[in-house]
Amino acid sequence: MSRPDDAGPFGRSRLARLRGRLFHVWFLLRRPMTLGVRALVFNEAERSVFLVRHTYVAGWQLPGGGVETGETLVEALRHELIEECNIEMRGPPRLAAMYYNRAASRRDHVALYVVSDFHQTAPKIADKEIAEGAFFRLDALPEGTTRATRARLAEQLEGLPPSPYW
């Protein structure tokens, strides 16, 4: 059985990679420095986190996205959680750390928030951006969870010192 990020008969993964690169170039043209937000949506009772798998980049990761012009970090976080997860924040998120995302570009920075007071209005259904999204127990993360996601979870939930790099 092929993995979702393997190239299929129509070269889907190449197309997905191209789409991701074009998306990032578009951001670079619009904003010389990019700023993003990510959410570690944590369900303490079930010891689980919400992860997404995008259609244009491989791996499971924390939900989030770019901060638009005129938008605060928390506003960006709020709309990304609704769009990507059907999750509404009930209380204020906690700013956990800021990272330099040198893997994306020399200009990309990411603000990581921990969200523990939330409500999921409905299960996430696949769309053009998100192939899958679900809660996963910390001891049963899906195969393909990205290195950066595992590092952020260890920093925030196991007390490891945060890296300055995403």
Asked if residue 49 has pLDDT above 60, the reply is yes
pLDDT digits (tens, 9 = 90+) for 120-161: 999 999 999 999 999 999 999 999 999 999 999 999 999 999
Q: How far apart are CA 31 and CA 106, in angstroms?
A: 13
Contact 96, 112 (CB under 8 A): yes
CATH for the 12-158 domain, from 3.90.79.10, 3.40.50.720, 3.30.200.20, 3.30.365.10 = 3.90.79.10
Q: Which amino acid, residue 2?
A: S
Please give the residue that has the higher pLDDT: either 135 or 4: 135
5 exposure class (CB count in 10 Å sphere: 0-12, 13-18, 19+)? middle
pTM of the model: 0.80
| Residue listed under structure tokens 């899906």 | 142
For residue range 62-116, list pLDDT tens digits in order: 999 999 989 999 999 999 999 999 999 999 999 999 999 887 777 789 999 999 9
- Look up tokens 């994306």; give the residue: 104
Determine the average pLDDT of the residues in 11-26. Answer: 76
Return the number of other C-beta atoms located less than 10 Å from residue 137's C-beta.
11
Look at residue 2 and tell me whether its pLDDT is greater than 70: no
More confident of the two residues 27 and 58: 58
Q: What is the DSSP string of 87-136?
A: EEESS--EEEEEEE-TTT-TTEEEEEEEE-SEEE-S-----SSEEEEEEE
Domain ranges of the chain: 12-158
Classify residue 165 by its DSSP letter. B
Residue type, 37: V
Q: How far is Cα 122 from Cα 136, in angstroms, rounded to an integer?
A: 16
